[in-house]
Amino acid sequence: MPLWNNWSGRLEHHPEALRFVRTEEDAAALVAGASARGVSLRVVGSGHSHAPLVIGADEIIDVGAMAGVISVDEASKTAWVAAGTPIYMLGPLLHQQGLALHNQGDIDRQTIAGATATGTHGTGRTIANLSHAVKGLRLIDGHGELRELRQSDAAESFYAYPVHLGAMGLVTAIELQLRDAFVLEERSWTVPGDSLVDSISEMTENHDRFEFFWYPKADQAQIKTMHEVAERPTYPVAEEGARRAYSFEVLPNHRPHKHTEMEFSVPMSEGPACFMEIRALLQNTFQDVAWPVEYRLLAQDHAWLSNAYQRDTVTISVHQDVRLDECEYYRACEAIFRAYGGRPHWGKVNELTGQDLEAAYPRWRDWWAARDALDPNGVFLNDYLRQVRAQV
């Protein structure tokens, strides 16, 4: 049986088959066949999730060959893009049309389907996550039928789909709301940990795109701001922290060191206090941890499983070297995050049960009902999803 593993190597799985699809017709035939045989499927993007979203199914489906921009509507600034398009490819392709994504994560290795499936985001007080750009989906449902779901068709109920965890079907294409291409100027500097509480409040008020990494051993934070500017880019693009270029050139970074990651989002007003508790935890109990804590802003949106569902949010991430055991550290962090009403990032580590998830995500049951309507036989469920569902 083939071996599949995620980006960090921490998650491994031997599915009965690893399949590749290139067309919607192939995908529909494959899903119809799996449904008839009672086989479960999980679709994979770039495998950059730390959560067990892809493992634990009979077969894994790779749609990486379905890549590129399918069509652009200049008037509405929307585009249909193929599901397997990596974000590093999408940026330049959209730029040729004078367009850009409104948000993206701090790497660009994910596929557009994989990134939107988990609510991937960068930073921005008034900027919602990347899934917020999803206006339509073409997917093969659990019967093997091709469906086109559009936001305009079903108003509120559409919000079940943008953050879908790969559980609604095999997504073949996504319609994205884009914006005009824009230039970002990035600045970066360090501040001592003790001054962070004041800095966070000031920075959050005065800078839309603000984030920092706090390094526990040095008790210092590397603050980063990014502003939209009218000036032209400066090439070659400078090192991270001092660059001015188009958004798709400034937002992604290199993250070569393999790690695991836990991220929770808490209400924006609770962010500073929550961060300070995590900092105290590292200083008092986990002095060996060298990996930084990341702090970002995220505007609220309406997607039912968005970690910023109807609340302006701060996201706080903790990391550990993939070769080290992070369990005790992450468990202690999770307890703090949960005390602040935290919601987990779907692509990262958490130990929440179905009951916990239901408490964190008010539309959890509605989301399952919408999912079941598309895939009543659970073709697109794996062990993890079946488990959290059974726990409700």
Per CB under 6 A, 110 contacts ligand FAD: yes
Per CB under 6 A, 42 contacts ligand FAD: yes
Looking at 47, 52, 56, 292, which residue binds ligand FAD (CB under 6 A)? 47
- Helix, strand, coil share of the chain (percent; to 5): 30, 30, 40
Per CB under 6 A, 171 contacts ligand FAD: yes
Let me know: does 309 contact 333? Beta carbons within 8 Å. no
Looking at 117, 293, 297, 349, which residue binds ligand FAD (CB under 6 A)? 117
How far apart, in whole angstroms, are the C-alpha atoms of residue 208 and residue 302?
Answer: 20
Q: Which stretch binds ligand FAD (CB under 6 A): 148-156, 164-172, 205-213, 226-234?
A: 164-172
How far apart, in whole angstroms, are the C-alpha atoms of residue 277 and residue 283?
Answer: 10
Looking at 7, 213, 309, 329, which residue binds ligand FAD (CB under 6 A)? 7
How far apart, in whole angstroms, are the C-alpha atoms of residue 389 and residue 392?
Answer: 6
Q: How near is the Cβ of 49 to ligand FAD at its closest, in Å?
A: 3
Looking at 52, 91, 114, 216, which residue binds ligand FAD (CB under 6 A)? 114
Per CB under 6 A, 166 contacts ligand FAD: yes
Per CB under 6 A, 49 contacts ligand FAD: yes
Q: How near is the Cβ of 194 to ligand FAD at its closest, in Å?
A: 27
Q: What are the CA-CA distances from residue 93 to residues 22, 79, 112, 177, 195 (Å)?
A: 20, 11, 13, 15, 42
DSSP, collapsed to helix, strand or coil, labels residue 364 as helix
Looking at 35, 40, 103, 120, which residue binds ligand FAD (CB under 6 A)? 120
C-beta of 105 vs 162, nearer to ligand FAD: 105
Per CB under 6 A, 31 contacts ligand FAD: no
Residues 183-242 that bind ligand FAD (CB under 6 A): none
Strand pairing category for 41-44 and 17-20: unpaired
**18 burial type by CB count under 10 A (0-12 exposed, 13-18 middle, 19+ buried):** middle
Per CB under 6 A, 44 contacts ligand FAD: yes
Paired with 146 in beta bridges are 140
Per CB under 6 A, 106 contacts ligand FAD: yes
Strand pairing category for 59-62 and 41-44: parallel
* Region class of 47: left (phi > 0), else alpha (psi between -120 and 50), else beta: left
How far apart, in whole angstroms, are the C-alpha atoms of residue 280 and residue 293?
Answer: 12
C-beta of 53 vs 99, nearer to ligand FAD: 53
C-beta of 77 vs 255, nearer to ligand FAD: 255
Q: Which stretch binds ligand FAD (CB under 6 A): 104-112, 184-192, 224-232, 277-285?
A: 104-112
Let me know: does 244 contact 185? Beta carbons within 8 Å. yes
Which has the closest alpha carbon to 225: 125, 137, 114? 125
Per CB under 6 A, 21 contacts ligand FAD: no
- DSSP track, 157-189: GGGGSSS-TT-S-EEEEEEEE-EE--EEEEEEE
Q: How near is the Cβ of 63 to ligand FAD at its closest, in Å?
A: 5
Per CB under 6 A, 105 contacts ligand FAD: yes
Per CB under 6 A, 13 contacts ligand FAD: no
Which residues would be at the binding site for ligand FAD (CB under 6 A)?
Answer: 7, 42-49, 53-54, 63, 83, 105-107, 110-111, 113-115, 117-118, 120-121, 165-166, 170-171, 255, 345, 347
